[in-house]
Structure 1
């Protein structure tokens, strides 16, 4: 599976791990990862440690997650980004929308 999820024991944080390409081919799988959670978490971590590629559709998917999580009131971290991914997110001004590490 290219998208894996882990819900914290208290149900307050959902971690979504992307493996391989994060592109339009992962759209439904990514969306299901947060929409089919049995409880609504307070925070989300999108772990890109094993992501090998990120394109504009991945940026759109992150925005959809942000809307789902509450828009401006959402608590989403994009974690374990490599320098190339961080550069793409910075060019897109995503550091204003997400906590990126």
Structure 2
């Protein structure tokens, strides 16, 4: 499991490799809380995410709160069919842009 983050203009890109579960909690929070400035938008790239559990869903909700709640611009991109299915079942398409 590895979490990396980069700022691309006004967008923070958080990439998650491997399992996205409770063991990633602190690294995930550090990826956006350690920034000096708040980005305009956020993109969570799950191209290399192999597993997602309920604690990961909670972490995504914490990111949403940090980014401004209903005003937050957060995209979750490059999901595998299994990951996308979990996000859909959880009704996350109502809270995030899922691509």
**TM-score normalised to structure 2 length:** 0.97
Alignment length, in residue pairs? 99
Which residue number in structure 2 is paired with residue 7 of structure 1?
7
User: Which of 31, 52, 55 is equivalent to 1:54?
Assistant: 52
Unaligned runs of 5+ in 1: none
User: Which of 28, 32, 35 is equivalent to 1:34?
Assistant: 32
Which residue number in structure 1 is paired with residue 86 of structure 2?
88
Runs in 1 of length 4+ with deviation above 2 angstroms?
Answer: none
In 1, Cα distance between equivalents of 2:76 and 2:23: 20
Q: CA RMSD, aligned part only? A: 0.8
Unaligned runs of 5+ in 2: none
SS at structure 2 position matched to 1:41: coil
Q: CA shift at 1:39, angstroms? A: 1.3
In 2, Cα distance between equivalents of 1:5 and 1:43: 13
